[in-house]
Amino acid sequence: MKLLEEKILKDGKILNNDILKVDSFLNHQIDPVLIDSLAEDMLNFFKNQRIDKVLTIETSGIAVAYAVARIIKAPLVFAKKSKSATVGDDVFTAEIKSFTRNLVSKVTVSNKYLKEGENVLIVDDFLAEGNAGLGLLSICNQAKANVIGFATAIEKGFQGGRKKLEDNGVKVYSGAIIKAFENNKPVFEEQ
């Protein structure tokens, strides 16, 4: 998505060679014109599929997932990062390692909000190693819901997340795919 690539080139900051900081339009301040347009592009990619529910994970995925959910008038569910070790048996859970923060969070979704046979589109802000996507896929599998795809704003193509998801049968959409950082600038993969 051209608009997103331009925005990354203009406003993204590269930290420590492998972390892309996009605080100015995606992760702290959010540009709703860009995100609405990204949401249209995501849905266009999955346009032949019925979507019953949009699933994301707090915090940075919520705005993008909301932008998608409102267009198709489908409920949005966000997985919660639980601080407590004790979770009841009325939730689906997964452990997700964050690439940027290097910590493992237990995330939960109430079994009231994901049901057997529902078609789910997973949405997140980043795809790096694929851990969030795999965790949310596991939660959908526990619910016996069907994952029709994973849609992300920015993919870091050199971190292997796409292959892990595709190996699990999940179709992947990325607004922009960064294949490398060169001379402190992102280089995009043509789509």
Q: Which residues of this chain interact with a second copy, rule CB under 8 A? A: 23-24, 28-33, 35-36, 58-59, 62-63, 66-67, 69-70, 73-78, 80, 109-110, 112-113
Q: Kindly tell me which of 33 and 169 has the beta carbon lying closer to a second copy.
A: 33
Categorise residue 18: left if φ over 0, alpha if ψ from -120 to 50, beta otherwise. Answer: alpha
Measured from the CB atom, the residue of 54 and 154 that comes closer to a second copy is 54
Sequence-ordered list of residues with C-beta below 8 angstroms from that of 111, at least 6 positions apart, any chain: 90, 91, 92, 143
Q: Which helix (H) or strand (E) holds 147?
A: strand 146-156
What is the DSSP-derived secondary structure letter of residue 90? T
Torsion of CA 159, 146, 52, 88, to 10 degrees: -90
CB closer to a second copy out of 107 and 127: 107
Work out how close the CB of 180 gets to a second copy at its nearest, in angstroms, rounded to a whole number: 27
Q: Give min distance, CB of 77 to a second copy, in A.
A: 5
Q: How far is the CB of 162 from a second copy (least distance, A)?
A: 26
CB of 4 to a second copy, least distance (A): 16
Question: Which CB atom, from 110 or from 191, has the smaller least distance to a second copy?
Answer: 110
How many residues make up the chain in this entry? 191
Using the Cα atoms of residue 125, residue 27, residue 183 and residue 130 in order, give the sign of their dihedral. negative
